[in-house]
Structure 1
Amino acid sequence: MRFGEGKNAWGGLVNPSKSDVNFFVNAFTITNHSSHPFEAEIWFNPVPPGNPKISKNVTPANTAISPLPKPEVKIAYAEFVEGFPRKGVMAFRRIAPPQSTLASDEDGKFIFPPCGSFIIFLVSPNNDIIQAEVAFGWFEKDKRE
């Protein structure tokens, strides 16, 4: 994702309203490809700004299953957005140092129902354009179980 010049970016896990699953955040990473640090805000259930796109870069961890399962949860993202998330809760922050990757193992302790979301919001640090990546590991369980 790209951001900077006063505009932000975000990526996250979004659980559709009709999914019938709860999702559990297992891990996430934030990679900073730039020479400048930036702040990453971790949000629970916000309404993020911008027009999100849905990533097709999704794969199950167990590729021996046939046919491969298709997740209900979507990875959404938006670049060069104005403003900050509304509603929800900004749960915590991380600083992404230059040329580095932050990894966080959450072991499924963050749980989101249908209509819930786990968003990593990348805050523009200055006028430079920043290139960054976020990645997620999660699992889903039928909410009726």
Structure 2
Amino acid sequence: MTNNRTSHSLREVVNIENPIFKSFEGKYFIGESDLLSFGFNNYAWGALYNPKDSGVNLYFSVTTVTNTSDLPIKSQIYLNSTIPEGATKVTSVTPSNLTILPPPKPKIIFLTGQFLNNKIQGGVKAYTRIVPPSSTLVNEENGKIIIPPGGNILNLLISSAQVLIKAHIAYGFWREEI
């Protein structure tokens, strides 16, 4: 049996993942922390905070933890916990689509901290991952976790080692106006 369709009757269809589509729209952002230090019964952390007055929902896409040490560490994800005191704002958050001028603003704040003495308070511990030595762990959620204004997602880095541990936390996320 032969196909009688001609090439002009075919229609090309392209499927793209939602994070890529959000990048086209100028709504996808990426950022990485400075090198964070912890160990000696202290913790490091990085959080995406959606300010109460942002007017957007935060769609959590991906987090990576780069463990630069020779020992494994734990990465625990918390939802809507209390942000620890002494947070530092990460200023290297950028839209992933660099063709849009002026560049869009994320409205979401990336915060970090290190040498935290206390465990995270409040919220829900969603899951724990082990990050092997000298490696990067990628955890993709692709927008399944949605954080309203006033909420946050926090990545806590833990090591029971009595040595200095260093790691980076990076995030990819998009925002949608409410």
TM class, shorter-length: over 0.9
- Deviant stretches of 4+, over 3 Å: none
Match of 1:65 in 2: 100
Q: String of CA shifts for 1:45-101, please: whole Å, max 9, x gaps.
A: 101433101000111000000000011001000000111111100000000100000
- Checking the alignment, whether the CA contact within 8 Å between 2:80 and 2:124 is kept in structure 1 is yes
Whole-angstrom distance in 2 between the partners of 1:129 and 1:50: 21
Question: Are 1:87 and 2:117 an aligned pair?
Answer: no
Alignment of 1:113-128 (within 5 A): 113-128=148-163
Answer with 1 or 2: which has the greater Rg.
Answer: 2
Q: String of CA shifts for 1:8-52, please: whole Å, max 9, x gaps.
A: 110010011110100101111011000010111100010143310
Contiguous gaps of at least 5 residues in structure 2: 1-35
Given the two structures, how large is their TM-score scaled by the length of structure 1?
Answer: 0.96
Question: Equivalent pairs: percent with the same residue?
Answer: 36
Greater RCO (Cα-Cα under 8 Å, separation 6 or more): 1
Higher relative helix content: 2
- Say if 1:50 and 1:6 are closer, same or farther in 2 by CA, change over 3 A: farther
Which among 74, 89, 107 is matched to residue 109 of structure 2?
A: 74
Deviation of residue 125 (structure 1)? 2.0
Whole-angstrom distance in 1 between the partners of 2:163 and 2:64: 22
- State the superposition RMSD in angstroms: 0.8
Which among 93, 105, 110 is matched to residue 140 of structure 2?
A: 105
Which among 76, 80, 85 is matched to residue 41 of structure 1?
A: 76
- Checking the alignment, whether the CA contact within 8 Å between 1:50 and 1:82 is kept in structure 2 is no
Match of 1:56 in 2: 91
Given the two structures, how large is their TM-score scaled by the length of structure 2?
Answer: 0.78
Aligned length: 143
Question: Are 1:134 and 2:169 an aligned pair?
Answer: yes
Contiguous gaps of at least 5 residues in structure 1: none
Higher relative strand content: 1
